[in-house]
C-alpha cells in the first residue's frame, strides 16, 4: 500500500510539474509574440523616420567614373587612367558621368612628370563654355585644388596658409556632399581645413583634372575608401 501511495504521489507531482511547465511555456510564448510585435512596430517607426528625413546621405564611392577621350591624352582600356602623350602646355580631361544628389567620394592617384603641375576639382555640368586647361582656374563654376598649395573657389584664388609639401605622386581624395553644398579634399588620406569648399550650387557637377607637361598620369581608384 505504501508503494502504491508513493507511486501515486510521484504521478501527481509529475502532473503538477507538467502543468507548471505548460503554463510557463504559454507565458514565454506570449512574451515572444509581444516582443515580435514591439520589434515590428519599431521597424515601421524607423522606416517612417528614414523616409521623412529626406534622401539617403550615406557615402557613395564613385565606381562608375570614366575619363572622356581627349586629343592630347591616351586612355586605358577601362578609361580610368589618363596620361598626357603630347608635349602640350596645358591639357585637361573631364570625368563622366556627373555627380547627382547625394554624398560622393572619389580618389585620384596622380603621378606627375618632372616639370608639371595640376589642377583637380569640380566644374558645373555645362562645361562647354570653359577651356579644359589651366585657364579654367579663373572661370566661374569651378572649384579647384592647385598643386596641393592653393584653391580656386568659383574663379577666386585663395592661398592656403597651411604648408603642404608638394609631391609628384599622391592620392587626391574628394568628398562631395551635394545636399549641404560642401566639398572637401584629402591628400594621401589627410584632410586640410583650407581645402574645403562651402556653398556649392546644387546642380550636377563633373570631376576634372588639368596637367602641365608630357608624361603625367591620373588614375581613378574605384576601390577607394573614405579616410577616417
pLDDT value for 29: 85
pLDDT, residue 137, reads: 54
pLDDT at residue 120, rounded to an integer: 86
93/197 same-domain check: yes
Same domain flag for 99 and 196: yes
For the chain, the maximum distance between any two Cα atoms, rounded to a whole number of angstroms, is: 115
Same domain, 94 and 206: yes
In a domain, 97, yes or no: yes
**Are residues 109 and 205 located together in one domain of the fold?**
yes
Higher pLDDT, 61 or 108: 108
Distances (CA, A) of 88 to 85, 116, 145, 213: 8, 11, 21, 6
Tell me the per-residue pLDDT of 159-177, one tens digit each, with 9 for 90 and over. Answer: 665 555 667 788 888 999 9
Same domain, yes or no: 89 and 15: no
Q: Evaluate whether residue 228 is within a structural domain.
A: no
Per the document, the length of the chain is: 228
pLDDT given for residue 165 in this prediction: 60
What is the mean pLDDT of the segment spanning 52-59? 56
Say if 204 falls within a structural domain: yes
Mean pLDDT (whole number) for 70-88: 76
Residue 107 CA to residue 27 CA, distance in Å, equals 57
Question: What proportion of the chain, given as a percentage, has pLDDT over 90?
Answer: 5
Grid cell digits, residue 72:
592630347
The answer to whether residue 181 sits within a structural domain is yes
Residue ending a domain, choose from 38, 54, 70? 54
- Looking at the structure, tell me whether residues 67 and 156 fall in a common domain: yes
- Mean pLDDT for 146-168 is 70
88 and 38 share a domain?
Answer: no
- Identify whether residues 18 and 113 lie together within a single domain: no
* 23-36 residue pLDDT tens: 888 888 888 888 88
Q: Where among 33, 54, 75 does a domain terminate? A: 54
Between residues 44 and 13, the one the model is more confident about: 13
Residue 125 lies in a domain: yes
Residue ending a domain, choose from 13, 35, 54:
54
Terminal alpha carbon distance of the chain: 81
Average pLDDT over residues 4-33: 77
Quick: pLDDT tens for 92-126: 788 888 888 889 999 999 888 766 677 888 888 65
Q: Does residue 187 form part of some domain?
A: yes
Number of structural domains found in the chain: 2
Residue 53 has pLDDT above 60, yes or no: no
Q: What string of DSSP letters covers 180-210?
A: TTEEEEEETTEEEEEEEE-S--SS-EEEEEE
Asked if 125 and 16 sit in the same domain, the reply is no
Judge whether 101 and 178 are in contact, CB under 8 Å. Answer: yes
Same domain, residue pair 64 and 9 = no
State the pLDDT confidence band at 215, using cuts at 50, 70 and 90: confident
Domain contains 13: yes
Q: What is the CATH number of the domain that holds 215?
A: 2.60.120.920
Q: Is residue 176 one of the residues assigned to a domain?
A: yes
Tell whether the model's pLDDT for residue 54 goes beyond 60.
no
Shared domain check, 130 and 195: yes
* Same domain flag for 69 and 126: yes
38 is in which domain, residue-wise?
Answer: 1-54
pLDDT of residue 27: 84
C-alpha dihedral over 119, 121, 123, 128, to 10 degrees? 40
Amino acid at each position: 500500500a505504501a508503494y502504491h501511495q508513493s507511486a501515486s504521489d510521484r504521478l501527481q507531482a509529475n502532473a503538477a510539474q507538467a502543468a507548471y511547465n505548460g503554463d510557463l511555456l504559454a507565458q514565454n510564448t506570449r512574451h515572444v509574440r509581444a516582443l515580435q510585435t514591439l520589434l515590428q512596430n519599431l521597424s515601421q517607426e524607423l522606416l517612417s523616420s528614414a523616409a521623412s528625413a529626406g534622401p539617403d546621405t550615406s557615402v557613395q564611392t564613385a565606381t562608375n567614373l570614366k575619363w572622356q577621350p581627349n586629343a592630347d591624352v591616351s586612355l586605358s582600356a577601362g578609361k580610368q587612367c589618363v596620361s598626357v602623350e603630347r608635349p602640350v602646355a596645358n591639357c585637361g580631361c573631364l570625368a563622366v558621368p556627373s555627380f547627382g544628389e547625394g554624398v560622393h567620394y572619389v580618389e585620384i592617384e596622380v603621378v606627375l612628370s618632372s616639370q608639371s603641375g595640376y589642377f583637380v576639382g569640380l566644374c558645373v555640368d555645362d562645361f562647354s563654355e570653359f577651356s579644359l586647361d589651366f585657364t579654367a582656374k579663373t572661370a566661374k563654376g569651378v572649384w579647384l585644388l592647385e598643386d596641393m598649395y592653393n584653391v580656386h573657389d568659383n574663379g577666386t584664388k585663395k592661398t592656403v596658409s597651411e604648408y603642404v609639401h608638394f609631391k609628384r605622386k599622391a592620392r587626391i581624395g574628394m568628398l562631395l556632399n551635394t545636399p549641404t553644398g560642401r566639398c572637401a579634399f584629402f591628400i594621401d588620406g589627410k584632410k586640410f581645413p583650407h581645402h574645403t569648399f562651402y556653398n556649392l550650387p546644387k546642380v550636377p557637377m563633373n570631376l576634372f583634372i588639368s596637367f602641365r607637361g608630357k608624361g603625367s598620369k591620373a588614375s581613378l581608384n574605384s576601390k577607394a575608401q573614405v579616410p577616417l
